[in-house]
Amino acid sequence: MSVDGDLTTQFLYEALSRGKREWELTFDAVPDLIFITDTQHTITRANRAMAERLGMRPAEIPGRKCYDLFHEIGEVPGACPFLKLLQDGDAPRVEMEERHLGGFFEISVSPLYNELGEITACVHVARDVTERKKAEEYRLALEQQLQQTQRLESLGVLSGGIAHDFNNILTIILGHCAMARTATPFEIQKHLEQIEQAGNRAADLCRQMLNYAGKSPLVQTEIDLNIQVREVVSMLQPAFKKKVAFKYLIEPDLPLIKGDQGQVQQIIMNLVVNAVEAIGDRKGTVGISLAEHTIAPDETGCDAFGNAIAPGSYVCLEVSDDGCGMSEETRQRVFDPFFSTKFTGRGLGMSATMGIIRSHNGALQLSSALGEGSTFTIFFPTCTTSPPRRGAPPAEPPPQSTERLEGTVLLVDDEPELRQVGTVLLNGLGLSVITACNGREALEIYRERPQDIDLVLMDLTMPEMDGVEAYQELRREASALPILFCSGYGKKEVSPFIDSDPYAAFLAKPYNREQMRYMLRKLRDPALQGS
C-alpha cells in the first residue's frame, strides 16, 4: 500500500474515532433519559442520565429489558407500552407517569432501520416533565381561584344596582301600603295589584341572582339569548352612570342556544361591565347585537387565539364600546389568568368568560385598538333539536283551578310569619294544617301521628335539623310520603336527593296559591308526574 493510502486510512480512522468520542460525549451530556433497545426490547445502550435516574452504572443497564427496568412491569414483552406505540410503524410521543421513578415523563420512540427497511432498534428519549405538570396543576388551581375572585368582583359591581332596584321595589310596596290605609275598598284592590306586581319583580331579581351565584343546578337548558341579554342589562343598568347609552340591534326569530343559564348570564354581565368601564366618565355608547350566523364547511373563520371555528349554526352576541380600547400587548394578555394589571375598562372576568365559552363549545373574537373602542363577538352553537323561536312566548302559569284539595299537610318552617301565611293559603285550598318550627319537631309530630299526615311541606334552612336531614329521616320511615321542599334558595341543594324520588319535589319561594295547588296535586297524583 502506498504512503498516501496509509495516511488516508489513518486519517479516516482518526476521524471515525473522534466522531465516536464526540457522539458518546454528546449522548452522555444530554439531560434527557436516552436508551436504545433491540427488537426484543433489550436495552443495548443507555446514557448517564438514564443510569443516574435508575441508581445504576451505565455498564449495568445493557442486557436488561426496558419493560422490566424502566417501567417495572415485570410481565411479558407485550405489556411494554413502547411495543404498543410502535405497532403502527410511527414515531410516537406520549406522556405517562412512571411511579417508581417519582415523576411524569414525555417519551418519544424513534425506530432505526437497516438497508432492507426493517426495524433493527429503537431510540427512546424520556424527558422529565414533572415540574411542568406541577406548574400546570398550580396554574389550574390559581385560575380557579381567580375565577372565583372575578365572580366576587362582578357581584360587587352588581351590589349598587341590586340595592337600587330593591329600594325602588320597596318604595312601591310601602307607598301603596300607605295609600291603602285611607283608600276605598275599590282603590284597595288596585293598590294590592301594584304591590303584587312589585313583589313579582323582586322575586325575578332574586332568581337571577341565584342563577348567577351558582345556587341553581348547573344544567343544560334551552336559552333565549334575547331575553337573557335584556334581563342582565336591566339588572346592571341602575349601577351605571347615566352618561352611558345602550344601543340594541337584535334580529327577530333567533334560534335558541343550549347552555347553563347562570354561566351564560355571567358572560353577558362581564362583557357589559367591561364595556361600560372602558368608556369611563365621559359620554359613550355600548352596542349590543344578536344575529344568527352560519359557518359553512369550506369557510375559514378563526377565534381570538387563531383557532378555527367549527362549521355550524351559531347565535352571535356582539358587545361593543367606544371607550379607550386596547393595545396589541393588552389584547394578547387579556385572557391570561395571570394578567392582573388593572387598566381602565378591561380585565374583569375575561379568563372566566373564556372558560365558560369553551365549555359551551363556543368561540370568541376580539377587535380593539387604542382610542377606538373594543368589540367582543361570542359564537354560541344553536340547538339542533329545537325550531327557531318566533318571539318570546310568556311562561305558562299553572292552570287556574277552583278544585279543593283534601288531606292534612305538615308545614315545616322556622319563620312564624311564613307558617301563618302558609296555613291560611293551605286552608284556602281545602287542606288541614299541622305546623312545626324545624325538622326535629316535624319528625316528632310525624312519629306520633303518621296516619294523620298526607303530605309534608318543608323549608330547607332551619335550626336544629334542616330540611335535607329531616327528609332523609322521613324517607327511612315512609318511602312514599309526598314531600314538597319550599325555599328561597335554589334547587341545587336538594337535587341530588329528590331528582330520582317520584314522591319529592321543589317549589321556589315566593309562590302563589295556584303554583302551590298545582305542585300538591302533582305530588299526590301519579298520573301527573310526567306533566
Residues 65 and 157 in one domain: no
What pLDDT is attached to residue 343? 42
Most confident of 63-72, 210-219, 481-490: 481-490
Q: 73 lies in a domain?
A: yes
* Beta pairing partners, 435: 411
Q: 307 lies in a domain?
A: yes
Residues 326 and 446 in one domain: no
Q: For residue 338, what pLDDT band results from cuts at 50, 70 and 90?
A: very low
Q: How many alpha carbons lie under 13 Å from residue 316 in its C-beta half-sphere?
A: 19
Instruction: Show which of 128, 152, 179 is a domain's final residue.
Output: 128
Contact 518, 403 (CB under 8 A): no
Q: 400 lies in a domain?
A: no
Residue 324 has pLDDT above 70, yes or no: yes
Residues 118 and 189 in one domain: no
Q: Which residue has the higher pLDDT, 152 or 111?
A: 111
What pLDDT is attached to residue 273? 85
Distance between CA 272 and CA 227 in Å, rounded? 15
Residues 423 and 343 in one domain: no
* pLDDT tens digits along 353-400: 777 788 788 999 999 888 889 999 999 999 865 444 444 444 444 455
Q: Quickly count: other Cβ atoms within 10 Å of residue 447's Cβ.
A: 11
Classify strands 374-381 and 312-321 as parallel, antiparallel or unpaired.
antiparallel
Residues 205 and 288 in one domain: yes
Residues 147 and 294 in one domain: yes
Nearest C-alpha neighbor of 378 from the set 225, 227, 252: 225
Any idea what the CATH number is for the domain that residue 447 is in? Answer: 3.40.50.2300
* pLDDT tens digits along 120-137: 888 888 888 888 888 888
Q: For residue 340, what pLDDT band results from cuts at 50, 70 and 90?
A: very low
Start-to-end CA span in the chain (Å) = 103
Distance between CA 454 and CA 406 in Å, rounded? 9
Residues 254 and 350 in one domain: yes
Q: Per the structure block, which three cell numbers stand in for 190? A: 288596585
Mean pLDDT of 65-94: 60
What pLDDT is attached to residue 508? 83
Q: How many domains does the chain have?
A: 3
What pLDDT is attached to residue 120? 83
What pLDDT is attached to residue 318? 95
Q: 362 lies in a domain?
A: yes
Q: Which residue has the higher pLDDT, 471 or 72?
A: 471
Q: Per the structure block, which three cell numbers stand in for 318? A: 356582539
3-state secondary structure of 402: coil
Any idea what the CATH number is for the domain that residue 275 is in? Answer: 3.30.565.10
Q: Quote the percentage of the chain above a pLDDT of 70.
A: 78
Residues 242 and 303 in one domain: yes
Contact 516, 425 (CB under 8 A): yes
* pLDDT tens digits along 241-300: 778 889 999 998 899 998 888 788 888 988 998 888 888 888 899 999 999 999 888 887
**Rounded to two decimals, what is the model's pTM?**
0.47
Residues 321 and 466 in one domain: no
Q: 23 lies in a domain?
A: no
Q: Per the structure block, which three cell numbers stand in for 162? A: 341590586
What pLDDT is attached to residue 5? 58
* Beta pairing partners, 485: 458, 506
Cα distances from 63 to residues 7, 38, 415, in angstroms, run 38, 10, 79
Q: What is the mean pLDDT of the chain?
A: 79
Q: Whole domain around residue 518: which residue ranges?
A: 408-528
User: Environment class of residue 288 by beta-carbon count within 10 Å: exposed (0-12), middle (13-18) or buried (19+)?
Assistant: buried
Contact 354, 362 (CB under 8 A): no
* pLDDT tens digits along 452-486: 999 999 998 888 898 889 999 999 999 889 999 98
Q: 308 lies in a domain?
A: yes
Residues 412 and 336 in one domain: no
Any idea what the CATH number is for the domain that residue 93 is in? Answer: 3.30.450.20
**Residues sharing a CB contact under 8 Å with residue 373, sequence separation 6 or more, in sequence order:** 278, 320, 321, 322, 323, 324, 325
Q: 101 lies in a domain?
A: yes
Distance between CA 304 and CA 326 in Å, rounded? 14
Residues 112 and 174 in one domain: no
Residues 436 and 329 in one domain: no
